[in-house]
Chain A
Amino acid sequence: MRRGKRKSVRNEPYQIPTATESCEAFFSLEQNKEYIISKFHHTEDIKFRRMTIQNIACILAYLDPLVDEDKLQKTIMKPLMEKNKLDIEDTVTSKEYRRSKNLQEAVSGLTKGFVVLFIEGYQHFYLLEAFSANSRAVSEPINEQVVRGSHEGFVENIMQNLQMLRRRIENPNLVIRFFQVGKTTDTKLAIIYLQHLVNPDLIQEVEKRITSIQTDSIQTPGYVEEFIEDSPFSPFPQMLSTERPDRLTAHVIEGRIGLLMEGSPSTLVMPVTFFAFYQSPEDYNSRWYIGSILRLIRVASFIFALGLPSLYIATVSFHSEVLPAELILNIKSSLENVPFPPLLEALIMQIILELLREAAIRLPGPIAQTIGIVGGLVIGTAIVEANLVSNMMIIVVALTAISSFAVPSYEMSMSIRLLGFPLMLLSASFGFIGLVFGLSIILIHLCGLETFGTPYFSPLAPFRFNELKDSIIRLPRWLLGNRPTDVHAQYRKQEWRSRGWKKNEND
């Protein structure tokens, strides 16, 4: 650790100048133009359009790729030319309008899609919004598909995303706070929450952590996640990443905070518990029995994905006596001609599996299928016939992979598979004892983990029986009267007497 006074952080020349650096605008058009051009280092996509209003020369400056031509024509140029007045505020129909004499503001405005209007002889200039907001069409996120329910997914445009959320929660208490993060990219971040519901300390904490980010760029929400999460060395994801507006909305209404980023359809939810990763919006769309069973299956999948290979390794290399007599023959006969110890066998299969997954994930659909066939069928059968890996190990590894894919969250599924490897090592060197120690360490870690001051493993640790009904299973909505307590929302009640009609009917 280096002690002593820390150097104050100053922006490097390639980064965006801080707001304190300012430059008074000039009275002459040419000087202003010169200044802008030099600030943009003679970039070639900056455009200047000369025009004359009331016989005074004016210049419209804008960055061509950022400006919507239609908006520029309809809201700025046409009104100016037709009315021919210098009363800019009443003439221009652009939706955002600012007046300034700090040229630094003009420079940063240009990078955000504003048009700057300089007028000869005036020090003041005008910033007029003409941002081109093209984005791709809204479509269903590929990694969070549901059978029933909303098929809407976030897009890369933050405004459109916020619009989706505003449409879902039509409430004046829905607050959006913007942050500009990244000294080079100046990326727009937004947090969204319900005022008067969210714990104010939580808002403060999130704001504090976001404002303390000092970096060149934020390119994906993953950057933000790594900057603001509590335990960066934990294998478990501590923020839920989702591309589904309905999922984000549900969490916001439970009193959590959503984080959106310009340029990315993934959003983050904080703080979340472990079980949030095992919930899917679909659970609430089907009958509650089905939802509950699906959740139980997912919890089982967690255990399988985590422990199955190590359990198998420990059993066949240390404790074969726990196998029933009928089963032991099958397992033993498949193991008989395999030259490797079980650990190596499992590693071979796991690595082949991860390779196949990694290879197939970025390939276009039809080729990915070929990889699936080559990998799954050809390698699978050939490797058994060549006696490199036993049948049982293939079954175990396949079951593990399938279980890990049953997790609705991609990050969690990866974390679990990764955690399987140290467990495999432990059970290969210490048997069941090693496995139990490994699982205990994971459990201890889960119980001790906190995100934004809330316990990660709630409602199991601390144990809250009443909240199991919306985490491990899902009871009907009208039985879920209270919000989960882990986020410390200001109001707990979320459902009153929705089935009150039932009682009235009987009277």
Chain B
Amino acid sequence: MTKTRYLSIICSISLLFLTSCWDQELLKESKLIYGAGFDYENENEIRTTFVVRNLGVPVSQGGVYSNRVLSVAGSSPRDTRIKMDRIISKQVTASKNQLLLLGDEVAKHDIDHMFDILYRDPKSPLDARIGIVEGRAEDIFNLDHIGDTLITEFTTNLIKGAENKTEAPRMTVEKAFRYSHDIGQDYAFPYISYNEEVGAPEINGIALFHQSNFTGEVLPPFDATLLLLMADAKRKKASIVENIGEQHDQGFLTQTVTINIQNAKSDIKYSFQNGNVSKAVVHLEVRGNIEEYPQDHLFKESQVKDIADELSKKLTERGNNLLAKLQEANCDFLGIGRDLNAYHHEAWHPKQWDKEYSKLNLEAKVKVKISETGIIK
């Protein structure tokens, strides 16, 4: 009895030291991918650009971070990844990838095919931001750095900044997966283009998607804000600049008013006909304060009201235009299909929704209220 006890103790102790580290993935033995871009190469090939972070000298000893940009063509993202691993020292991990850029050409093909590599791996970064690039994603990454900032950080923060200003939806890998498999809900990614004047990428609106394909339609940033307000997706800040016409114009730079949206409430009302949805009206009510209005007549209640009415009219007009654009692109950004599925199920025909949506009578009604005028009247 004592013999077996001793044996078991010895076995368990030696097991502890013999386990080795079969599934260990040491952080120092890995190379981190900080950004990846996909581009259309030809009928059967994709070009993937990887941004790998170099850490030669520790920062504490005066080193600086730098990127190594590699571009590989292959028959699938995984194929390019394996090819890239051959030309890079250490083990590559994509678990901290911050940014995924898609060239507009490749985005028009099914993005699910490219993101499969991300969805399948439990370690893939779910909060990586996705952007659509006008032209090729490779070109953006090849900029390497903007001023002192590395391109991956710069672009990621560009997207995050746009999200905070309600100019782009907060789209991560996880959300892209969810929405691209949802018939009743479409989505949009921030659209990035290269600004020749400043020599840096800029946010140039949002790229509308249908199912998992880029529709080719891009909404400019202002419309994107309005659309996001309609979708009840206001983030930290949302500003609207609007030209309010000639009767207000009394000199240089006096045609516009800027309001900062405090809160927005959006509600969609449906009308039905023969078991089909015939009309949907988006009621958007925003309350904002005036951030800029150079003419200073705001001590008059009526003046403030006039501006609000004018704005309501203008924004309703803009809203209708952008909804038309959405329908043209067949992008159900507001999730009307999902609404129907949940609340008006008898009018929900998932198989025909593609056709029904573009024929739907979609209308916007925007009402603006002004609550503050800043610290001067």
Q: Which residues on A are within 8 Å of B, measured CB to CB? A: 315-318, 320-321, 323, 325, 328-338, 341-342, 391, 425, 428-431
Contact = CB atoms under 8 A, between A and B. Distances in A.
Contacts of A429: 16, 19-21
A431 B98 contact: no
A334 B19 CA distance: 27
A320 B60 contact: no
Q: Describe A's contact surface by its main secondary structure.
A: helix
B98 A335 contact: no
Nearest to A331: B27
A330 B59 contact: yes
B55 interface: yes
B13 to A, nearest CB: 10
B123 A321 contact: yes
A444 B375 CA distance: 62
A419 B60 CA distance: 32
B65 A328 contact: no
A468 B123 CA distance: 39
B19 A336 contact: no
A428 B25 CA distance: 11
A337 B58 contact: yes
Nearest to B63: A333
Nearest to B53: A329
A129 B166 CA distance: 92
Given A321-B125, A329-B65, 20 more contacts: A317-B24, A320-B95, A320-B96, A321-B123, A325-B96, A328-B27, A329-B55, A330-B59, A331-B27, A332-B28, A332-B30, A332-B55, A333-B60, A334-B58, A335-B27, A336-B55, A429-B21, A430-B19, A431-B23, A431-B24
A146 to B, nearest CB: 39
Contacts, number: 73
B27 A316 contact: yes
A411 to B, nearest CB: 26
A315 to B, nearest CB: 8
B45 to A, nearest CB: 29
A336 B63 CA distance: 12
Which of B59, B65, B125 has the most CB atoms of chain A within a 10 A radius of its CB?
Answer: B59
Contacts of B34: 325
Contact of A333 (B23, B59, B98): B59
B148 to A, nearest CB: 15
Given A328-B96, A333-B60, A429-B16, A341 B26 contact: yes
Nearest to A430: B19
Contacts of B55: 329, 332-333, 336
A307 B201 CA distance: 45
Given A330-B59, A429-B16, A318 B25 contact: yes
Which of B34, B60, B98 has the most CB atoms of chain A within a 10 A radius of its CB?
Answer: B60
B123 A332 contact: no
A319 to B, nearest CB: 8
A320 B93 contact: yes
B130 interface: no
A429 B19 CA distance: 7
A337 B57 CA distance: 8
A431 B123 CA distance: 15
Nearest to A428: B21
A316 B26 contact: yes
B28 A335 contact: yes
A247 B28 CA distance: 49
A253 to B, nearest CB: 45
A328 B30 CA distance: 11
Interface string B117-136: 00000010100000000000
Nearest to B127: A325
A249 to B, nearest CB: 44
A332 B65 CA distance: 11
Contacts of B264: none
Interface string B25-66: 111101010100000000000000000010110111001010
Given A321-B125, A333-B60, A328 B93 contact: no
A330 B24 CA distance: 20
B16 A317 contact: no
Contacts of A328: 27, 32, 96
12 contacts: A316-B26, A316-B27, A317-B21, A317-B24, A320-B93, A320-B96, A321-B125, A325-B34, A329-B59, A332-B30, A334-B58, A425-B16
Nearest to A324: B96
Contacts of A323: 96
B310 to A, nearest CB: 45
Contacts of A431: 23-24
Nearest to A315: B27
Contacts of A318: 23-25
Nearest to A334: B58
Contacts of B19: 429-430
Contacts of B59: 329-330, 333
Nearest to B30: A320
A193 B366 CA distance: 79
B21 to A, nearest CB: 6
A320 B53 contact: no
Which of B16, B21, B28 has the most CB atoms of chain A within a 10 A radius of its CB?
Answer: B28
Contacts of A331: 27
B376 to A, nearest CB: 40
B95 to A, nearest CB: 4
B51 to A, nearest CB: 13
A338 B55 CA distance: 13
A328 B94 CA distance: 13
Which of A320, A338, A342, A425 has the most CB atoms of chain B within a 10 A radius of its CB?
Answer: A320
Of all A-B residue pairs in the complex, the 10 with the closest CB atoms, nearest first, are A321-B95, A335-B28, A320-B27, A316-B27, A429-B19, A333-B58, A333-B55, A321-B123, A333-B59, A317-B24
A385 B28 CA distance: 17
Contacts of B16: 425, 429
A429 B58 CA distance: 27
Contacts of A338: 28
Nearest to A321: B95
Contact of B98 (A321, A325, A428): A325
Contacts of B53: 329
